[in-house]
Amino acid sequence: MRQCLAALYALLLLAGCGGSSPTEPSSTGGGTSSVLQGQTVNAVDGAPLSNLTVRVGTSFPLTTTSDGSGFFQVDVSAQSVHRTVVSGASVVERETRMGGPGSGRARVSMIPSTFDLRAFDEMFRGSNARLQRWTSRPALVILASVMEYRSNASGHSYDATGEQLTDAEVEQLRTHLTEGLAFLSGGVFTSFASVEVERPAGGTRVNTLRTGQIVVGRYKGIARFANTIGYGVWSELPDGAIAGGAMYLDREFDREDNRRRLLRIHELGHALGYQHVESRTSIMNPAIGPEPTEFDRAGAIIAFERPVGNRSPDIDPASSTLTLSTGEGRWVAPRTACGLAGR
């Protein structure tokens, strides 16, 4: 009998010890059902960022540090969307949200502390001090008939003239705008969703404000009536998504000046929802002249790695989405006119 009791006692001890043994989180990215995982990287070049502090949660945040490869993980136990704040001396503090736990690692891109946030705010954080951009590839419509500009045009509808752009001029315009789109979207949009060429007959009234499209044309009378060589407008939705754009190029400048490419890329920037930059050299300076800069390239990459509605210094909205929101767009133009350097 004593032998049986001793054996039973030993079995109970083994069962108790085995039931309390924890499971180690995976270090290969597979994870467990309770582990929230991520990697901190440089937003501009994608390089891993180590030794950043990561705080997950609101009332009693869990804190960890990214390792030499930028990896971090915390045991959150409950499936949810978790407020996450990442900070460090080499980066701009970012507040975002991570869903999980899950089996994969979330990529948390960080703005380097050396980046020019003031100029970024000028260019990409528009009317309501929040990031605005297209969230899907825009379609391009080229008006191959020269249009008649009137400063009091109703609803941005203009009359076509009998003058036409040549096929070579249309192709050059398409090439310049495709180049500009790739650059100003950080390489996310390498082409337009579609390209249509319209040649309305002389006297035909054309609406230039169209949802989902960027409409570009050459106009007689812009320099005379608007005192500028061109301008662009955009339709912004309440959350910051851009839903439409239009570009108005002065006929004489766009036809005769060898800086037409810079004007076209600049006005495309407006049609993408970007404002003028006045604090440093940029393709979006009010005076046309500079080539696209390294700041412009890096800024576009950062903008397209963040959801619309992101606020300064780097705070994502509570409910982030990368799809076009619903609602009526508001058509907006830049606050200052586009001119020529040196004027």
Q: Does domain 27-114 bear CATH number 2.60.40.1120?
A: yes
pLDDT digits over 92-146, tens only?
999 999 988 887 899 999 999 999 999 999 999 987 899 999 999 999 999 999 9
Residue 274 pLDDT grade (very low, low, confident, very high; cuts 50, 70, 90): very high
Count CA atoms closer than 13 A to 253's CA, side-chain side.
24
Most confident of 26-30, 130-134, 285-289: 130-134
pLDDT of residue 341: 64
Phi–psi pair at 193, nearest 5 degrees: -60, -35
As assigned by CATH, the class of the 119-340 domain is alpha beta
Do the bridges between strand 80-87 and strand 94-100 make them parallel or antiparallel, or are there none, so unpaired? antiparallel
Within the chain, all domains assigned CATH 3.40.390.10 are found at: 119-340
pLDDT class for 307, splitting at 50, 70, 90? very high
Which segments of the chain belong to CATH 2.60.40.1120? 27-114
Q: Select from 245, 213, 237 the least CA-distant residue to 325.
A: 237
Averaged confidence pLDDT in the chain = 87
Residue 326 has a pLDDT of 39
Checking if the pLDDT of 14 tops 60, the result is: no
Who wins on pLDDT, 303 or 3?
303
pLDDT class for 154, splitting at 50, 70, 90?
low
Q: Which residue has the higher pLDDT, 282 or 27?
A: 282
Joined together, the tokens standing for residue 271 give: 């049609």
